[in-house]
Amino acid sequence: MASLILRRDGQGNNVQRLHRVRSMAGRYSDITVLGQSHGSALQAGRHAIKVVERDSSVSVYRPRIVIDHDADSLAAARARARKILSDSRLQGLTLQATVKGHRTSDGLLWTPGQRLHVLSEPHDINGIYFLMARRFSGGVAAPARPCSP
């Protein structure tokens, strides 16, 4: 696991700049999944499948209702609601870090999906996150150049 460190005193820092964005645009307090499943020659369709999942970290009432036409059971509807909630949490916080170099302290390239320990004293962050995307710029001996297809 790689680390991103930003301390006030500068000791052990590998982060040049860290930008945090919080947004309520994609966050919901309640996710209600209303589902139904198709019938077949052997089995009747199901209707009135309803699951409500709550996100206690959202302090305002902000519901979302999702219609799932292929929810075969309560378990499928619950899984869909939980997936929507986890995606909602992911959209609610974005950390953008600028580091020097293309590699971690272990010599590996920064890779999407990689686990990161983020420690930032100015932002009061100390936790484990996943790297979702990265962008390399510049190089060892030359400045960044656009790539041609």
> d(Cα 122, Cα 125) in Å, to the nearest integer?
8
Question: Is residue 15 domain-resident?
Answer: yes
Q: Encoding tokens for residue 124? A: 């009061």
Task: Please report, for the domain that includes residue 52, its CATH number.
Answer: 3.30.1920.10
Domains: count for the chain:
2
In terms of residue numbers, what domain contains 122?
A: 2-23+94-130
Handedness of CA 110, 113, 114, 119 (dihedral sign): positive
43 and 85 in one domain?
yes
The reported pTM is 0.70
Q: What is the DSSP letter of 60?
A: S
Question: Is residue 137 domain-resident?
Answer: no
- Cβ density class 4-40: b for 16+ within 10 Å, e for less: bbbeeeeeebebeebeeeeeeeebbbbbbbbbbbeee
88 and 35 in one domain?
yes
Q: What is the pLDDT along the chain (149 residues), one digit of tens a residue?
A: 899 999 999 899 999 999 999 999 989 999 999 988 777 778 777 778 999 999 999 999 999 999 988 888 899 999 999 999 999 998 899 999 999 888 888 888 989 999 999 999 999 999 999 999 988 887 665 444 444 34
Question: Is residue 117 within 8 Å of residue 128, measured between CB atoms?
Answer: yes
Q: Encoding tokens for residue 133? A: 């995307």
Question: Is residue 87 domain-resident?
Answer: yes
